Amino acid sequence: MAETEVKSEKTHIRCKTIIEILGKPKEHVENSLKLAIKKIKEQKNIVLKEGDLYKAKEKEGLWSTFSELELLFKDVNSLVGFCFDYVPSSVEILEPKGLKFDTNGLSGLINDFLAKLHLIGMSLKKLNAENQILNKNAAALLKNMLIMSLKGKEKTLTEIAKYVAIPEEQLKPFVEIMEKNNFIKKEGEKYKLK
């Protein structure tokens, strides 16, 4: 909805919202936020009144940036749709002070929200199942690599880590599990197959 299409701000919902992006590299994070704001400006039922864009800052190896926006929404459906699409970290409704809901409209919003939650839940379950398979396969690969590295030889943890190309501190717990499960045996500083 273009600025000229807004008949009166009193007939719309005016909000302040914050959209945050976290990731890396820095340029991708900043460009993603700019792209999100560009898409918001293209929405027919939303008017961007003002917005501040902040430079990305590094936090624990990831880059974070955010934008504070003041938006006008045509109706509650537009506001809820915006929240589904952009997942803002906060929304403050400035005007109107009171909103009235049609029960059918409210039921539709709640059902849309629940459908989205169910979709997210199903996606998480699928990702969890895939992650379990990947972890199981990675453990089997690592076990095979460890066995291959020790086939006919005795090696220190440092030598095994070099062979399997995994940092020693990350490999150590796995080697200890294999030792506990009697796949390998430690004699002094060296490991060998049982």
Single pTM value for the model: 0.60
Alpha-carbon distance 190 to 188, whole Å?
6
Alpha-carbon distance 103 to 101, whole Å?
6
* Number of structural domains found in the chain: 2
Share of the chain above pLDDT 90, in %: 41
Burial class (CB in 10 A: 0-12, 13-18, 19+), 93: middle
Tell me which residue range forms the domain holding 147: 136-193
Alpha-carbon distance 126 to 160, whole Å?
34
Residue 185 sits in a domain whose CATH number is 1.10.10.10
Residue 3 confidence (pLDDT): 43
Of 3-7, 47-51, 59-63, the one with minimum mean pLDDT is 3-7
Residue 86 sits in a domain whose CATH number is 3.30.70.60
- Among residues 43, 64, 96, the one where a domain terminates is 96
Q: pLDDT for 141-190, tens place per residue?
A: 988 888 888 998 899 999 999 988 999 999 999 999 988 988 898 989 99
- Among residues 66, 96, 126, the one where a domain terminates is 96
Q: Do residue 89 and residue 144 come from a single domain?
A: no
Q: Do residue 72 and residue 7 come from a single domain?
A: yes
Q: Do residue 153 and residue 90 come from a single domain?
A: no
**119 found inside a domain:** no
- Among residues 41, 76, 96, the one where a domain terminates is 96
